[in-house]
A and B are shown apart, each in its own frame.
Chain A
């Protein structure tokens, strides 16, 4: 199968990664090679097979709904790019 340049730009947009024209073209060539490899999967009839999500087919554990974390806001915010008054700062979202 072959991807188009527009598709590469569309998925880069979905993934929130800025790509320039040149980078998108380079990515296109490499992704097409990888999708040729992946394409081998389509030759197998799997209509009767159940998909796997965990190797041991485990169910999620439940636990009592109690507080287990202690407040470490200052420690965690000390490594944030930009904080003010205990809040994470980002560019204005609402005009």
Chain B
């Protein structure tokens, strides 16, 4: 049963084969048993989740069920959740019981979904390995000596280990797609502006975007139906008509033009990853798709541009953590300024401090034009590359990550090496495009490989169709790590 799709869970609930309280209880039991080994959850509130499940059972009994009613969903601990500890993986918020719900949480509540817990993550979503969390690293369920990826590592691990049927994530430079790839699950970062950022702790606001993580594209479509929507409380939320992301899933792929950027298939990719990605593309050809070579000439500038823009925005966003209105305050200080300095020094981890310092520097007098403005200009060139490529193809494919999951501790002392592991995903955030990752096999040490699928703006339904058609003829997305078998 653990491997069921969201639609199957919904059918079981509707047929009264199982109640939401029983289903939630099963996943809670499993999460509590597996969490000491994986560290995927920061908070589990059994009673709160079960109460929500009982309320969902009443809705189901009254005939008012919607597609996710009664289904347990894990929430990344970046989403403010009323009455729940919401830490964002930081000591700074280690005492923060959120007084309100994020828009995403409100939408899941309105859909009758059950919050099964808050998942671990890199501190303030800054990291690619989940090793920067104040609550300790998450383990990759396929190999507990490997990282799960980050920053949504807890969500990826929870779904991969079947501790939750699906989860939410956020993606600023690859934080949904890279952990999805490394943990062998599916995840989509929608077009920037589709999912409200209200109540989502801000990292780099012009890049941050929430999205779903699940076993399959079909599950992602149902999740996205709940998550996407206009919100006046987010100044960059896009005012568009609601879409049904399930509607195109069954469309055949005949004639689909897949663009393969020549800059993606270079020596930086490991052979094991290249093999799995090429096999997936061969499968797409069998499904009737054609491939064309495209070029994204400014690809190599994405990482430098990102590490100016994201820290710049982070240094501004994180200035709100001052120990005055909420969060951590140092126990001893001389004056107000000393209180700020000590509170921030004691409660931010090394990676967060590093990015605040980079951001402060590139925004400071005399450097603003050379760094910040230059990066914003290059951001346009990167977006234009994609616009040019999409004249020749419908969708772009490549590897999500140049390697399979690396070992815990392998890159944690070298920030530059860590940053380069997101080389393929970052450009998509800079362009504001939708991107997703689906599992397409295994590489070295039997660790999962992800296929990166990038669509044009607002083509999520088509991307989910492309992913779903592959998942109809393959079963990588159905495979479970050995340590998580029923």
Contact = CB atoms under 8 A, between A and B. Distances in A.
B93 to A, nearest CB: 10
B300 A40 contact: yes
A43 to B, nearest CB: 9
Given A38-B371, A52-B376, A53-B376, A12 B337 contact: no
A49 B206 contact: no
A29 to B, nearest CB: 10
Contacts of B360: 11, 14-15
Interface in B299-317: 300-301, 303-305, 307-308, 315
Nearest to B345: A18
Interface residues of B, number: 72
B307 A56 contact: no
A55 B431 CA distance: 6
Contacts of B373: 51
A56 B238 contact: yes
A37 B357 contact: no
A51 B377 contact: yes
B72 to A, nearest CB: 27
Given A27-B354, A41-B374, A72-B99, A80 B361 contact: no
Nearest to A78: B99
Contacts of B300: 40
A30 interface: yes
A14 B353 CA distance: 12
B375 interface: yes
B358 A34 contact: yes
Contacts of B112: none
A55 B357 contact: no
A81 B329 contact: yes
A42 interface: yes
Nearest to A80: B325
Interface string B327-341: 111000111111111
A88 B334 CA distance: 18
A60 B148 CA distance: 38
A37 B373 CA distance: 17
Interface of B: 95-97, 99, 192-193, 206, 232, 235-236, 238-239, 300-301, 303-305, 307-308, 315, 319, 322-329, 333-342, 344-345, 348, 353-354, 356-358, 360-362, 364, 370-371, 373-381, 383, 414-416, 419, 430-433, 457
Interface of A: 3, 7-8, 11-12, 14-19, 27, 30-31, 33-42, 44, 46, 49-56, 58, 60-61, 63, 72, 75-76, 78-82, 88, 90-93
